[in-house]
Amino acid sequence: MSEGIYGQSKIDGITLFLYLILVAIGFMAIFSSSHGAESFSLDFGTKYGKQLIWIAVSLTIGAVLFLMDVRFFEVFSYPIFAIFMVLLVLVMFLGTEVNGARSWFSIGSFRLQPAEFAKFGVALALARYVSDIDTDMKSRRYQMITAGIILLPIVLIILQGDAGSGLVFFSFVMVLYREGLSGTILVIGIVSIAIAVLTIAFGFVALIITLVILGAIISAFVYTNTRILRNLWLILAICIGFSKAVDFGFTRVLQIHQQKRIQVMLGLLDDPQGLGYNVNQSKIAIGSGGLLGKGYLQGTQTKGDFVPEQHTDFIFTSIGEEFGWVGSTVVIILFVLLFLRISFLAERQRSKFSRVYAYCVLSILFFHFLINIGMTINLAPVIGIPLPFFSYGGSSLISFTVLLFLLLRLDANRENELASDY
């Protein structure tokens, strides 16, 4: 293997370079969206000033990771997971409420969001559990525990009122797929999502009528084969039950504003002044960028503060407006290169723990990237998750940095893993 020429304890330069360039572009975008151009001063009270601090903190933490024993995280992955889960519970009682979600700890003027860091804990626990030599992939118990590791934080975060951050954990399905998750489960997952969407879009009653008619038609063709008939109606019954559950969950459990948000995102509600306002402003900013953009610090929508939450969840609009399609595409390509590189790093790990962890990092980053950019151009629901390395905010930047740098640390140490693995 040619990777050997990097020798031991070498950081993967390509990943580090892509990380640094994305952070740098992200900082430029925050500078632009927080009116740095109008009154530039190195003021740490400004958004870009604070972000500069967060970058420095992130790089410091990243460096500290390299000083730590590489095995620390593997050994202590379950305790770390447990600590974050406890934090997720505590924040519901001790946290500060922001935008209807009680998901922040306030320490002085700084706010920390445990949900951001929980990703790290879940990634470690998942990597540890899936790579465990005793784990039998086919056993029901294995499957339940794996699902539990993923679902526990989702439940806790949704209970905080921050459904968006909770959904992120579903991205771990990608890890499980890589590690051999059966295709059937994936199909079930996709069908479930389809039924959920159709139930919300057309209503429970319409859906069961359609399913029953469909079942009747198929039955007419296969009426001789009682086994197929029985399975068919069993599946239909499960579908109808699931649909009823979704219907109940949607109409009874979710609050009106959450229902609306889902309906807007599914294209069932058009509301440019209400919930769709952000997306509309976002599309105007990006769409007006044209091929080459209006030029850095020249974005009229960015300067005029037209896009709400621009420096956080809608930071991509600043890129789209000021650098146009070419700039947007360059940023997307940089992300894709990073993802491909991580996937490459994952596959070259000798330790299964490292590999699973690498795919955890990849799935989290990719999900954020896809949903965040998707929501700015109305391809994905507005669930309020940040764009990795770009969005303003310490919690997310530190969390993504720690995720990625631990991967780099594991990768740098991969030659030494040989012995421990066998």
Partner 1 sequence: MTYNQNRSTVIRLIIVVFALILITKLFYLQVISDTYAKKSRSLSVRTVTEFPDRGLIIDRNGEIIVFNEDAYNLVVHYPFSEKKFNKSGFCDLVGMDSVEVEERLIKAKKSQYNGKGVFMKNITSADFARIQEGLFQFQQFSIEARSDRKYKHNIAAHTLGYVAEISRTELERDAEDYYDIGEYIGKSGLEKYYETHLRGIKGRQLYLRDNAGRLKERYVGGANDVEAKIGEVLPISLDVLIQEYGEKLMAGKTGSIVAIEPSSGEILAMVTSPGYKPEMFSMKNLSKNYNALLRDKSKPLINRAVNSNYPPGSTFKVFMALIGLQEGVITPNTRFRCNGGFHLGSLTVRCHGHAPSPNVGYSIQTSCNAFYCNLYREILHQDRFENIEDGYNNWKSYLDRMGLGQKLGTDISAEKPGNVPKAEHFHRIHGKNRWNYARIISMSIGQGELLLSPLQMANMAAMVANRGYYYTPHFIKGDSVPAMFKEKHELGIEQKHFDVVVDGMNKVMLQGTGAYVKIPGIDICGKTGTAQNPHGENHSLFIAFAPKDNPKIAIATVVENAGYGATWAAPMCTLMIEKYLNRDTVSQRPFLEEKMFNTEIKIVK
Exactly one of 135, 143, 219, 288 binds partner 1 (CB under 8 A); that residue is 288
Instruction: Using CB under 8 A, pick the residue from 238, 283, 297, 416 that binds partner 1.
Output: 283
Nearer to partner 1, 150 or 176 (CB): 176
Q: Is there binding between residue 231 and partner 1 (CB under 8 A)?
A: no
Q: Of 325, 350, 415, 416, which lies in the binding site for partner 1, with binding defined by CB under 8 A?
A: 325
Single-letter amino acid, residue 59 = L
* Single-letter residue type at 86: V
Site string for partner 1, 160-199 (x = CB under 8 A): --------------x--xxxx-------------------
Q: Which of 346, 385, 398, 408 binds partner 1 (CB under 8 A)?
A: 346
Q: Which is nearer to partner 1, 228 or 370 (CB)?
A: 370
Least CB distance to partner 1 at residue 373 (A): 5
Neighbours of 102 (CB within 10 A): 16
Name the residue nearer to partner 1 (CB basis): 202 or 277.
277
> Of 162 and 417, which has the nearer Cβ to partner 1?
417
State the Cα–Cα distance between residues 28 and 24, nearest whole angstrom. 6
Whether 302 and 285 have beta carbons less than 8 Å apart is answered as yes
Among the listed ranges 9-17, 218-226, 234-242, 285-293, the one in contact with partner 1 (CB under 8 A) is 285-293
Distance in angstroms (rounded) separating the CA atoms of residues 157 and 397:
19
Among positions 84, 104, 335, 390, the unique one binding partner 1 when judged by CB under 8 A: 335
Q: Nearest approach, Cβ of 173 to partner 1 (angstroms)?
A: 11
What is the C-alpha separation between 137 and 142, in angstroms, rounded? 6
Decide whether 155 or 379 has the Cβ nearer to partner 1: 379
Draw the binding track, 375-414, toward partner 1 (x: CB under 8 A; -: no contact).
--x-x-----------------------------------
Query: Smallest gap, in angstroms, from Cβ of residue 344 to partner 1?
Result: 9
The residue (of 98 and 284) whose beta carbon lies closer to partner 1 is 284
**With binding defined as CB under 8 A, does residue 320 bind partner 1?**
yes
Residues 6+ apart with CB under 8 A from 296: 28, 32, 322, 323
Stretch that binds partner 1, among 113-121, 127-135, 143-151, 325-333 (CB under 8 A): 325-333
- The least distance separating partner 1 from the CB of residue 287, rounded to whole angstroms, comes to 2
3-state secondary structure 274-299: CCCHHHHHHHHHHHCCCCCCCCCCCC
Token pair, residue 91, equals: 């924040």
- Binding partner 1 (rule: CB under 8 A), the pick from 62, 164, 215, 289 is 289
Instruction: Give the shortest CB-93-to-partner 1 separation in angstroms.
Output: 33
Of positions 113, 328, 391, 396, contacts partner 1 by CB under 8 A:
328
Q: Contact residues for partner 1 (CB under 8 A)? A: 174, 177-180, 283-291, 300-301, 303-306, 320-321, 324-325, 328-329, 332-333, 335-336, 339-340, 343, 346-347, 359, 362, 366, 370, 373-374, 377, 379
